[in-house]
Amino acid sequence: YTLGAKCNPTLVAKANKGVISCCGALYTPALFQLSGIGDADLLKPLGIPVISDNKHVGAHLANHTGGLG
């Protein structure tokens, strides 16, 4: 499912089995954090309910300014 510019930014999905979620290297951690999966110390002050406290989500992101060739 792809959200377009005219779609409501809130999407509720339910599943009876596992779900694979991917938004690329930068946006997947952000999606998890906005969904309440991440460092509780970062999520709670933002008013995001914590589903799973995991300090590793988004912890190793870096801005890579170099390119190939």
Residue tagged 């946006």 (tokens):
27
Chain centroid to CA 4: 18
Span between the terminal Cα atoms of the chain, in Å? 35
User: Looking at residues 37-50, what average pLDDT do you find?
Assistant: 93
Q: Residue 52: its pLDDT value, please?
A: 94
Quick: pLDDT tens for 18-38.
888 778 877 888 888 988 999
Q: Quick check: 50 and 43 in contact, CB under 8 A?
A: yes
Q: Residue 1: its pLDDT value, please?
A: 44
